[in-house]
Structures are given as structure tokens and as C-alpha cells.
Chain A
């Protein structure tokens, strides 16, 4: 996915935090030659309208991702443990909130 041989410099993924306290959310990517330029380009490209107050830039090839073919087996363990969810448990009606 990353075309690092490009004359445009390597690819970086950009994450924006809207307000302090909120999570950083992926918003897109861009080309830049080094990390300072990546940060400045990210500001110019993704926060021209107060979309955020903090930015992360990460070299795209540093990102490790799951692969679509493995969705089933990879995420399987999440499905068969319903007791992890609060709704699994029966609580007396008299208790309104827990």
C-alpha cells in the first residue's frame, strides 16, 4: 500500500484529536519527506477548519493490520464469551440501576 519509492516521499497516516480528552481518530494520509514536514502538511491538509487541536503522524509502513481473509478465526474469541457483556446477568427487578 505504501509507495515509498515515489518521488513524492513516503506515505504517512494522519490521526486528529478533535478536543483534548477525546481519542485520536484516523482521518487520512499524505506524502512527506520527513516527520516535521508530515506534521506541517497534516495541519495544512486536515485541520484548515478547526477540525482538531492535536495531530499524530505515523509512517504508513509502521502500521501492522489484520487481514480481511482472517476476520473469522482472528476475531472468533470475542463471540463465544457472552458472559463478558453486562446484559448476560439477571439482576432482581428491585435494583433499578447497576
Chain B
């Protein structure tokens, strides 16, 4: 089959909303786009374990500690689903990790912010996981089969994450004056970085056009951001917290909120390695990988020894 025919078949599949599977022919740029997006998603899951892991030993109760442990374990699992989805595009796990550790591959900018108080764990579950869910619900219908299937499993597990975070915020908001202030402070610090998670405005998003054309994404950054704001504002109001945006206003005509513009200079700074925790996060990842080397080598040696014994 010549390339023209292969391209026609590929486009026909997409227009019928059929999934593309690993063994199907796909344009090089589609493959590259997916490797970039899925691996960035995988990296975000495992780097996302770090800011939350910071609070496991200091969780305020045994219940809270068990929940947080389970959540962080889920994030590790989500990373693994996504890594194998990327690997189905013919790139090895070693290469993917190398790209993360050398800074060639990115992860979500939100994880470069510190978790200073227990309320930050609430804000992350409620806002950060809430924003991630909004994106991931859309990605359940993404055109690449292994990515779509990973997303279905992730979405099933993610809903507990958001609810446990909101529960923490609810509890703090009916607590002492200091606890209420702590919740408000966490919202103040995490609100804008959360809005940035959806990516740059549509007009300036370099990757969006192809992603929509190839049905990798079905909705634009701005559409998802708007839906997140519409959904989250009433949740904040209900527990007496104030969204830190003086331009936030209900707009009857569009049946949604008008809201302010995130600071895109800050976004670009954090993306390019200059956020508050970039060095710490990447350092922790590299250290974990290096210190795990002997475990991988020992496991490999043990497996080979057992194989020899069976053969003998």
C-alpha cells in the first residue's frame, strides 16, 4: 500500500470515530504527538506523588494518613498505565525516564508548587484532581486505543481523589479561625496554577490544532478551563471560601462565569524550570531512580538464575 492510501485509511478511521491501535499505520507526527502527550501525562502522575508524599507522615489522623497513602499509590498506578500506553508507540520505558530526568520531557507545571500546609492536600485533591478529571473525562474518547483505555480506568479511580480533597476543605472551613484561614490560603495559592493546568489560551496553543484534527483532544484548553470554573465556583461558595479573582462574575448571557486571566509569564517560567520546586522535584525523581538501580539489577539477576536452574 502506498503512503497516500495509508493516509486515506487513517483519516477514514478517524472520521468514523474508530480507535487507532498500536499495530495500525499512523503518520509519524501523530505518533510523536502521542508520545509527547502520553509520556508527559505519565510523568505528571509520578512527579505528582511527591508534593502529596510530603504530608503522609504528618497527616492529622490515621484515617487521613491511610487515605493519602491510597491516593498516592493510585497516582503511581496511573503513571504505570500511561507509561505502558506510551511504550506501545515503540519507545522504551528507559528512554521515557531518561527524557524526564534530562528535562527533555515536561510534566504538569502544577507539581512545581510546594505543599506548605495540610490544607494544600485538600486543595490539590479538590482543585488539581478536579482539573485533571475534566481533562481526562474528555480523553476517554481520545483516538488512540491504549490511551483511551488507560483513561477509562484512571477516571474510575480519580473521583475518590477529588472527593477526599473537598472533604478536607469542608472540614477546615467549619473548624477554628486558623483552620478556615488555612483553607482560604491554600485556595489562594492553588487557584491560578490550577487554571494554568489546562494549558495556554487557544489562540496561543501550538499543539492544539493537530490534537483536535487527530481527535486526540476533543475540546480546547479554553473550553475545559471555562467548564472547570463553572463547576468549582459554587463548590467554594458552599463552604464559605472566596475565589481569589476580582474579575470573577456570573455572565447570564453565556451561562457561565467571566474570570480573570492567569499570569502566563509565571506559567512559562515554571514550565521552563524556574518554578518554586522544579529542582527539588526532578532531584527527588532522579535520586529514586538511581537508588532503585540495584533493586532492578538484583531482580533481573535473580530471574536469570532461576531460568538457568529450570534449564539445568
Q: Mark B144-177, 1 if CB is under 8 A from A, else 0.
A: 0000011001000100000000000000000000
Chain B residue at minimum C-beta to C-beta distance from A13:
B84
A8-B94, A49-B157 known; A1-B88 Cβ under 8 A: yes
Q: Return A30 CB to nearest CB of chain B, in Å.
A: 6
List, in ascending order, chain A residues with CB within 8 A of B1's CB: 69
User: Interface size class for chain A?
Assistant: 20 to 34
Contact of A1 among B90, B149, B299 (CB under 8 A): B90
Question: Bound complex: CA of A27 vs CA of B84, how far in Å?
Answer: 12
List, in ascending order, chain A residues with CB within 8 A of B181's CB: none
Complex contact B150–A34 (CB within 8 A): no
Complex contact B84–A8 (CB within 8 A): no
List, in ascending order, chain A residues with CB within 8 A of B236's CB: none
A28-B149, A68-B23 known; A9-B84 Cβ under 8 A: no
Chain A residue at minimum C-beta to C-beta distance from B289:
A7
Contact of A8 among B74, B77, B93, B157 (CB under 8 A): B93
Give A contacts to B, CB under 8 Å.
Answer: 1, 3, 5-9, 11, 27-31, 33-34, 37, 44-45, 48-49, 65, 67-69
Complex contact B93–A31 (CB within 8 A): yes
Q: Which of B120-166 contact A (CB under 8 A)?
A: 149-150, 153, 157
Complex contact B23–A67 (CB within 8 A): yes
Q: Which of B29-37, B48-56, B300-308 contacts the other chain?
A: B300-308
Complex contact B94–A6 (CB within 8 A): yes
Q: Which of B76-129 contact A (CB under 8 A)?
A: 77, 80-81, 84, 87-88, 90, 92-94
Question: Bound complex: CA of A30 vs CA of B87, how far in Å?
Answer: 10
A45-B77, A48-B77, A69-B1 known; A7-B94 Cβ under 8 A: yes
16 A-B contacts (beta carbon < 8 Å): A1-B22, A1-B23, A3-B93, A5-B92, A6-B92, A9-B296, A11-B84, A11-B87, A27-B153, A28-B84, A34-B303, A45-B77, A45-B81, A48-B73, A48-B157, A68-B25
Apart from A7-B293, A7-B296, 13 more pairs, CB < 8 Å: A1-B23, A1-B90, A3-B93, A5-B92, A8-B296, A9-B296, A31-B84, A33-B300, A34-B306, A44-B77, A48-B73, A48-B77, A48-B157
Question: Bound complex: CA of A31 vs CA of B79, how far in Å?
Answer: 13
Question: Bound complex: CA of A29 vs CA of B150, how far in Å?
Answer: 11
Q: Mark B279-294, 1 if CB is under 8 A from A, else 0.
A: 0000000000000010
List, in ascending order, chain B residues with CB within 8 A of A30's CB: 80, 84
Chain B residue at minimum C-beta to C-beta distance from A29:
B84
List, in ascending order, chain B residues with CB within 8 A of A28's CB: 81, 84, 149-150, 153
List, in ascending order, chain B residues with CB within 8 A of A49's CB: 157
List, in ascending order, chain B residues with CB within 8 A of A11's CB: 84, 87
List, in ascending order, chain B residues with CB within 8 A of A65's CB: 23
Q: Return B290 CB to nearest CB of chain A, in Å.
A: 12
List, in ascending order, chain A residues with CB within 8 A of B73's CB: 48
Question: Bound complex: CA of A44 vs CA of B88, how far in Å?
Answer: 21
Chain A residue at minimum C-beta to C-beta distance from B298:
A33
Q: Return A41 CB to nearest CB of chain B, in Å.
A: 9
Chain B residue at minimum C-beta to C-beta distance from A37:
B299
B252 at the interface (CB under 8 A from A): no
Complex contact B84–A48 (CB within 8 A): no
List, in ascending order, chain A residues with CB within 8 A of B92's CB: 3, 5-6
List, in ascending order, chain A residues with CB within 8 A of B88's CB: 1
List, in ascending order, chain A residues with CB within 8 A of B303's CB: 9, 33-34, 37
B24 at the interface (CB under 8 A from A): yes
Question: Which 3 residue pairs are nearest across A and B when measured between Cβ atoms?
Answer: A34-B303, A33-B303, A33-B299
